[in-house]
Amino acid sequence: MKVIKIIPSLGFGGIETVFEITARYYQGSKDDIIFLAMGGGGTAAKVITEAGFRVVIWNMPTKIPNWKLIPKLVKFIKQEQPDVVHTTGAEANFHGLIAARICRIPVRVGEEIGMPVHSRMARLAFRMVYGMSSAVIAVAGQVEDFLTETKEAPPHKVAMIYNPVDFRIFGVTKNAPEAGRFRMVSICRHTPAKNLDVMIKAAAALRRRAPELNVELWVVGDGPSRAGLEELAASLGLGDSVKFWGFQEERVQFLTQATLFVLPSYSEGHPISVLEAMMMETPCIVTRGGGVPEIIEEGKTGWMMDPLDLEGFTDKLEHIARLPDAQRREVGRLAGVNIRANFPPDLYMERIWSLYQRNHPNPQAV
C-alpha cells in the first residue's frame, strides 16, 4: 500500500512529532510512504529523511485558499499514483483532499487535530472538503463530537484515533526535579492560542505571593508570540526566574528537570507535549479545554485549569507547589502508567493502517 502523507510544514510541533513517530515505527518498506510538506521543512523533515523515507518540501504559502497548491498537488499525486492520501491539519486537509478527489485516489483520509473556531463560510467549506474524504480522523473524543455536532464531517466517516507517544525517547528517562525549587516548564509553539501570557502572569503572581516557594519558569519553543512574551516577563519583573530557551530539538532534559509541566492553551485536541511529559512521569497542569479530560484525571494523573481564570490558575499552582514531593511524584507515576497503557506507537500504527484498509474499495489487493 502506497501512502502520501501531506502536512502544512515539517518543522516542529505536535503533528510533526506524529509524522516522526510514523517514520520510526513503520515496519514496511521505506518506499511505501512519501511525506510531503506544502510549506517549509525543518527538524521533522530531517528526522524522517534520516529514517530513510522520501521527504518532499515545497516551501509554498499554505494559507487557505492557495489555488496554486491544488493543481501542483494534483500533478504530484497523479505522478505517484498512491493508494492513500492522508492529510493532517486544516491547510493540508483543504488543499490535499480536493486534489486527491480530483485524482480519484481510492482512500482519502483527512485528520482534524483540534476544534477550530470557524466562520459560517469556513464551516461550509470544510463540510464540502470532508465530504470528499473516505474517512476523517479525530484525535480525541471531543474533536469527534465537534466534527459531528458542527456537521463539518458526516458521523459515519469520523474515526477517533489518539495520537501516540514515542516510547523509545520518552519512556527511558524519568522525571527527577531539583530539590528546593518549584520549576514550571512549558514546551510548545509560541502562538496566541497557547495562552502563554497567562502562565507568565501566574508565575509572577505566585512569586509575589509566596517567595519561599522559589518559583522558576522555563519556556521552551519558538513562534510569533515569543518577543511579546519576553517583554511581558520583563515588565513583570521576573528577571532570572524565567528563561526562554527557544526551540530545542532534545526535550527530554527539560522534562527531566521540571517540577511541573504547564500547558495553558485555550483548547487542545490531544497534545503530544503533554503525553511526552506524562510518559516521563512529570506532573502536569493543562487546560481543561478540548480533549485533555480524556487523558488527565483531576488530582490523580495531573491537574486541569481554566485558561480564562488567572486567579484560579495561580491558586492551583500554589496548591500543587505546597504538596509533599511524594504526592506530586505519585501523580506523575500514575500519569506514566496511563500513557504506557493507552498510547503506544504500535497500537497507533495498527489503527491507522487498519483504517486505510477498511476504506479501500479492494482491501484484499493492498
How far is CA 3 from its chain centroid? 22
Q: What are phi and psi of 288, to 5 degrees?
A: -85, 0
The side-by-side arrangement of strands in the sheet containing 182-187 is 242-246, 215-220, 182-187, 260-263, 284-287, 303-305
- Does the predicted model carry a pTM greater than 0.75? yes
Alpha carbon distance 292, 290 (integer Å)? 6
Q: What is the pLDDT of residue 163?
A: 96
pLDDT in tens, the chain (366 residues): 999 999 999 998 899 999 999 999 999 999 999 999 999 999 999 999 999 999 999 999 999 999 999 999 999 999 999 999 999 999 999 999 999 999 999 999 999 999 988 899 999 999 999 999 999 999 999 999 999 999 999 999 999 999 999 988 877 777 788 888 999 999 999 999 999 999 999 999 999 999 999 999 999 999 999 999 999 999 999 999 999 999 998 888 999 999 999 999 998 999 999 999 999 999 999 999 889 999 999 999 999 999 999 999 999 999 999 999 999 999 999 999 999 999 999 999 999 999 999 999 887 655
The domain segmentation of the chain, as residue ranges, is 3-164+344-365, 168-342
Contact 99, 108 (CB under 8 A): no
Q: What is the pLDDT of residue 361?
A: 87
Q: What is the pLDDT of residue 365?
A: 58
Fold of 168-342: Rossmann fold (3.40.50)
Which superfamily, per CATH, for 3-164+344-365? Glycogen Phosphorylase B; (3.40.50.2000)
Q: What is the pLDDT of residue 366?
A: 59
Equal CATH topology for 3-164+344-365 and 168-342:
yes
* Residue 321: Cβ within 10 Å count: 18
Residues 6+ apart with CB under 8 A from 82: 2, 3, 4, 34, 105
Helix/strand/coil (H/E/C) assignment for every residue in the chain: CCEEEEECCCCCCHHHHHHHHHHHHCCCCHHHEEEEECCCCCHHHHHHHHCCCEEEECCCCCCCCCCCHHHHHHHHHHHHCCCEEEEECHHHHHHHHHHHHHCCCCEEEEEECCCCCCCHHHHHHHHHHHHCCCEEEECCHHHHHHHHHCCCCCHHHEEECCCCCCHHHHCCCCCCCCCCCEEEEEECCCCHHHCHHHHHHHHHHHHHHCHHHCEEEEEECCCCCHHHHHHHHHHCCCHHHEEEEECCCCCHHHHHCCCEEEECCCCECCCHHHHHHHHCCCCEEEECCECHHHCCCECCCEEEECCCCHHHHHHHHHHHHCCCHHHHHHHHHHHHHHHHHHCCHHHHHHHHHHHHHHHCCCHHHC
Cell for 261? 509541566
Alpha carbon distance 109, 5 (integer Å)? 9
Q: What is the pLDDT of residue 170?
A: 77
